[in-house]
Structure 1
Amino acid sequence: MIATATALLSPQVLKEARQRERRVAWQQTRVAWLFIAPAVLMVTLFLLTPVVFNVILSFTKWQKFTGLDQFAGFNNYARLFRLPYFSEALANTAVWVVGAVVFPLAVGLGLALLLRNIPFQETFKSLFFLPRVLAPTAVAAIWYYVYAPRGVLNSAVSGITGTPFDFGWLYDPATITGSVIVTFVWQTVGITMVLLLLGLAAIPKDPIEAARVDGASNFQIFRHIVWPLLLPTVLVVTILNVAAGFTTFDLLWVMATSFPGKRTLSLAVYMYYESFSNGAWAYGSAVAVVLGAMVITVSALLAVVQARVSRNIR
């Protein structure tokens, strides 16, 4: 028996065992790469290649069909801070992102808390989620006529007050941004509500029941138990809404692109305007690079916070 064990542990046997393990590992790796190769190819062709090309393009003088072979260095990026429209678009984007994060989260959390323990929950969830399946351009067109001087909103106000009301919601500087944000909230609150409902369903009931036995109020339970445990889901929703707020184009282009003074410009709209309306493709690419860098930076910071919160909860 000892001789058999010694033979099994001999250098030659161990070497052959290691070789077999390497062959099996290589075969498994090869099979795994065969499965993921189509996805890698698609991502490379349709995502990474355009991104790399756009970054290269931002360092050229390409305008319409000339200048692609001329190197411009950082001139396009320096031009960003010399033109007032970029600063205005940057400020508008910041306002838009804050509104796109705060309001859908607040409304979605309220709906999630309201719907989690009521009858016909699935029916209400479907109704609130329905706008999410509509195309953003269709949503923008619908709400454009809601806000029209003789649209649904003004007709409702006229019916309530009994006096004619034809306020131009999309033509007044004080209301245009808020009007578009309301449209965005209407479209996105459904997915926010569903994600928060999933987060609420994952919270264990034992701490909540123990807190109720100890006489804690609903607000105290929410503040000290529900909210800390729901925070990772809230951060995931925030990351999604931040990315959507930075890159939203359809609603602004359809509903507010004709507003005078460029007050409604966002970086996404400004990028399109410079690239396709003015033909300054290289400059528009520089705007796109800055926008992409902002989205990646903010999303990465939120992801780090979300990971730390998740570790603390565990």
Structure 2
Amino acid sequence: MIPASAILSPEVLREARHRERRVAWQQTRIAWLFIAPAVIMVTVFLLAPVVFNVVLSFTKWQKFTGLDQFAGFNNYARLFRVPYFSEALGNTAFWVVGAVIFPLAVGLGLALLLRNIPFQETFKSLYFLPRVLAPTAVGAIWYYVYTPHGVLNSVISGVTGSPFDFGWLYSSDTVTGSVIVTFVWQTLGITMVLLLLGLAAIPRDPIEAARVDGASSGQIFRHIIWPLLLPTVLVVTILNVAAGFTTFDLLWVMAGDYPGKRTLSLAVYMYYESFSNGAWAYGSAVAVVLGAMVITVSALLAVVQSRVSKNIR
């Protein structure tokens, strides 16, 4: 048996601390070995392009010339002189609001309807199916729904009994709403599923107690279900805000005659300036502004979501 004095001796303690540090270092190396591929991919395919794009926005690069010429904030100052940017900014704000409110409202309604009905999984699969389709394919499908001789006008003609050939995507009054309907159709499934998960996590005891006390369904939803569901609602809102800011496929496929369309957004405007006009530095400035807006709004919503979750706990 080892004497107690030997166990507590400084040499033994130093050896134990050295062994602990060696084991911790080995574990750290193994951990970095596993995460290294992900770190490399994120750095090469995400962080490096973002840094290059920011640097590019301060140059005069246009059609393979001017990458080595410093432009300062000229590209950013140009944003406020070009009318298309302000139009795209306003359209983007309108689009984001629509991309948040409508999927959330319809998805919440469906989640409340489907949570206690038979064959719930079947309905969830049907509503989630559009989510697995590529946005380009969804845009192409709905483009032919909205054409003057498309499905929607054929249905209206059949109901009214008179020919109807309205161009939904060719009128500034209806094009934005038409694309938002398509966006809601595609994102409704994931929104509904996330809200169903949030509803399933709500404890039944407060609801049953409120019913025993005579509370109505509206009162239960307002004072119990909604406050407990709010963190999930904020998560869905963050996802829809990011999707609304960066949506490009649907807008380009369904109403891609830019500029001049009511649906001109910052994402589409960035693409148009970069690849159609060849103004890559200016397009990079638009991308930086768009990215800053997404990060700012998402960070604010994340802070609100964190505080709401702490208050509920």
TM-score class, shorter: over 0.9
1:184 aligns with 2:183: yes
Moved more, 99-108 or 21-30: 21-30
Identical positions, percent? 88
Tell me the CA shift for residue 262 of structure 1.
3.4
Deviation per CA, 1:133-154, whole angstroms, max 9, x where unpaired? 1111111111111111111111
Deviation per CA, 1:72-110, whole angstroms, max 9, x where unpaired? 011000100110000000000000000000000000000
Deviation per CA, 1:243-302, whole angstroms, max 9, x where unpaired? 000000011001112267232210000000000000000000000000001001111111
Aligned to 1:252: 251
Given that 2:96 and 2:241 are in contact with CA atoms closer than 8 Å, whether structure 1 keeps it comes out as: yes
Aligned to 2:10: 11
Aligned to 1:275: 274
Measured in 2, the distance between the counterparts of 1:84 and 1:223 equals 44
**Counterpart of 1:171 in 2: which secondary structure?**
coil
Q: Which amino acid aligns with 1:165?
A: F
Moved more, 254-263 or 125-134: 254-263
Structure 2 matches for 1:136-151, cutoff 5 A?
Answer: 136-151=135-150
CA RMSD between the two structures: 1.3
Structure 2 matches for 1:145-164, cutoff 5 A?
Answer: 145-164=144-163
Measured in 1, the distance between the counterparts of 2:235 and 2:258 equals 34
Aligned to 1:76: 75
Q: TM-score, normalised by structure 1?
A: 0.97
Measured in 2, the distance between the counterparts of 1:80 and 1:14 equals 65
Structure 2 matches for 1:108-119, cutoff 5 A?
Answer: 108-119=107-118
Measured in 1, the distance between the counterparts of 2:23 and 2:219 equals 56
Tell me the CA shift for residue 215 of structure 1.
1.2
Deviation per CA, 1:10-63, whole angstroms, max 9, x where unpaired? 322222221111111111111100000000001111111111111111010000
Aligned to 1:106: 105
Tell me the CA shift for residue 213 of structure 1.
1.2
**Counterpart of 2:118 in 1: which secondary structure?**
coil
Given that 1:144 and 1:255 are in contact with CA atoms closer than 8 Å, whether structure 2 keeps it comes out as: yes
Measured in 1, the distance between the counterparts of 2:7 and 2:203 equals 51
Measured in 1, the distance between the counterparts of 2:69 and 2:146 equals 46
Aligned to 2:122: 123
**Counterpart of 1:264 in 2: which secondary structure?**
coil
Q: Which runs of 5+ in 2 are unaligned?
A: none
Aligned to 2:172: 173
Q: Which runs of 5+ in 1 are unaligned?
A: none
Given that 1:170 and 1:259 are in contact with CA atoms closer than 8 Å, whether structure 2 keeps it comes out as: no
Aligned to 2:306: 307
Deviation per CA, 1:224-253, whole angstroms, max 9, x where unpaired? 111111111111100000000000001100
Q: Which contiguous aligned blocks of 4+ residues in structure 1 show a shift greater than 4 angstroms?
A: none
1:286 aligns with 2:288: no
Deviation per CA, 1:112-158, whole angstroms, max 9, x where unpaired? 00000000101100110011111111111111111111111111111
Measured in 1, the distance between the counterparts of 2:156 and 2:82 equals 41
Measured in 1, the distance between the counterparts of 2:14 and 2:205 equals 54
Measured in 2, the distance between the counterparts of 1:103 and 1:9 equals 68
**Counterpart of 2:260 in 1: which secondary structure?**
helix
Distance 1:39-1:260 versus aligned 2 partners, 3 A rule: closer
Tell me the CA shift for residue 165 of structure 1.
1.1
Aligned to 1:223: 222
Aligned to 2:85: 86
Structure 2 matches for 1:35-50, cutoff 5 A?
Answer: 35-50=34-49
